[in-house]
Amino acid sequence: MALIHHYNTGDADTASNIYDYGARDSIRAQVFTSPFTFNLESIKIYCQRNASATAGTITAYITAVDGNGAPTGGSLKNGSVDLMTIAATSGVWANSEWLEITLSSSLALDINIQYALVLHCDGVNPINALYWVRDVGGGYAGGKAYSNDTSDPPVGDFAWNDINNGNDDFLFELWGTLSVSAKATTPIPSDSATGITLDQTTLAWTTGGSTDTYNVYFGLSGDMSLVSSAQVGTSWSIDSLPLSYNTAYQWRIDSTNINGTTTGNVWSFTTLSFDPPVASGLNNMVTIRKVIAAAGNKIWIEDI
């Protein structure tokens, strides 16, 4: 397991308290953007606990993010720790500690997608139990800090308020393992297809998962070359049209992420042997070629 993503270099300017007080909960969240496709296994928060606290549970939830950039929906995965494992407050936020919360099981996160890290306290005494340190006017570009002081349960579709007009960020770390890219699948044209027209313009495929970019190889059978490097999309337009008659072509998609490159399967297709007849004549019908021969009183007509 390795540190995959973080905002741990910001200033420890202040902290937000997180508590449970009957039907009124004080919940805090930090939205982040996953920089890679990876499996999230644990999170760390920079925090202190109230020195007067005697019991409680801290739970971290990972949720989706709505179109406005705020947490939304149920828990994708969560993990909990005993509040009393956290050091008591010293009154100096820069002297806080990194608390690790391990998820119940790993959660696959996709590259360039926003998620929310939501913190909630349960059964705590006194109410101001946990202080999550945040950077006032923080510099994290992948999301911002949010608060909700009315809702129980802690995750779902309800209103969130961005803290300090969206200018602040909580300090956090994301730990996990990078996923190896899976091979691309479902080639278009299909593997070993025949009768492909000379104006076939696009090769397409389906991601196998855990992939950030693709390298595309294409060429005559036995003579492929790299034609597109580190592209994000799952299609490539052939740039050497028209293709040749009755010719075999090969292509391959290599899937990549920060953990390396996975070589794809070699796919092939063969173009048609000749063009089919085209519509012509007064009624726009297909012209049929015939040979006519005459001898004596007889006429022969044969298709060719």
Residue of 215, 178, 174 lying closest to 37 (CA atoms) = 178
Question: Quick one: 112 and 204 in the same domain?
Answer: no
Residue of 17, 37, 130 lying closest to 80 (CA atoms) = 130
For the chain, give the mean pLDDT. Answer: 88
What is the Rg, in whole angstroms, of the alpha carbon atoms belonging to the chain?
31
Asked whether residue 78 is assigned to any structural domain, the reply reads yes
Asked whether residue 279 is assigned to any structural domain, the reply reads no
Is this structure's pTM higher than 0.85? no
Separation between Cα atoms, residue 264 and residue 247, nearest integer Å: 22
Name the pLDDT band for 214 (thresholds 50, 70, 90).
Answer: very high
| Contact in structure between 179 and 259 (CB atoms under 8 Å) | yes
- Backbone phi and psi for residue 163, each to the nearest 5 degrees, phi listed first: -75, 135
pLDDT for position 59: 94
Asked whether residue 283 is assigned to any structural domain, the reply reads no
Three-state DSSP class for residue 233: coil
Q: What is the mean pLDDT of residues 249-275?
A: 93
Residue 36 has pLDDT above 90, yes or no: no
Q: What is the count of structural domains for the chain? A: 2
pLDDT for position 282: 54
Residue 124 has pLDDT above 80, yes or no: no
Question: Quick one: 167 and 27 in the same domain?
Answer: yes
Question: Quick one: 40 and 154 in the same domain?
Answer: yes
Q: What is the mean pLDDT of residues 140-168?
A: 86
Core vs surface per residue 94-105: b (16+ CB within 10 A) or e: eebbebebebee
| Contact in structure between 48 and 15 (CB atoms under 8 Å) | yes
Asked whether residue 284 is assigned to any structural domain, the reply reads no
| Contact in structure between 132 and 170 (CB atoms under 8 Å) | yes
Q: What percent of the chain has pLDDT over 70?
A: 87
Range in 206-210, 270-274, 283-287 with the lowest mean pLDDT: 283-287
Give per-residue pLDDT as tens, 219-253.
Answer: 999 999 999 999 999 999 999 999 999 999 999 99
Give per-residue pLDDT as tens, 51-104.
Answer: 888 888 999 999 999 999 999 999 999 999 999 999 888 778 999 999 999 999
| Contact in structure between 114 and 174 (CB atoms under 8 Å) | no
Tokens 């397991």 — which residue? Answer: 1
Kindly state the DSSP code that residue 207 receives in the 8-state scheme.
Answer: -
Question: Quick one: 14 and 148 in the same domain?
Answer: yes
Question: Quick one: 194 and 174 in the same domain?
Answer: no
Separation between Cα atoms, residue 155 and residue 169, nearest integer Å: 19
Residue 287 has pLDDT above 70, yes or no: no
Question: Quick one: 159 and 209 in the same domain?
Answer: no
Core vs surface per residue 55-79: b (16+ CB within 10 A) or e: ebbbbbbbbebeeebbbbeebbbbb
Q: Which of 160, 178, 196 is the last residue of a domain?
A: 178
Q: What is the mean pLDDT of residues 33-56?
A: 91
Any idea what the CATH number is for the domain that residue 239 is in?
2.60.40.10
Name the pLDDT band for 193 (thresholds 50, 70, 90).
Answer: very high
Question: Measuring CA to CA, how many Å separate 190 from each of 196, 204, 222, 267, 269?
Answer: 10, 9, 18, 8, 8
Asked whether residue 281 is assigned to any structural domain, the reply reads no
pLDDT for position 279: 62
Separation between Cα atoms, residue 176 and residue 186, nearest integer Å: 30
Sequence-distant (6+) residues with CB within 8 A of 125 are 53, 54, 55, 56
Name the pLDDT band for 22 (thresholds 50, 70, 90).
Answer: low
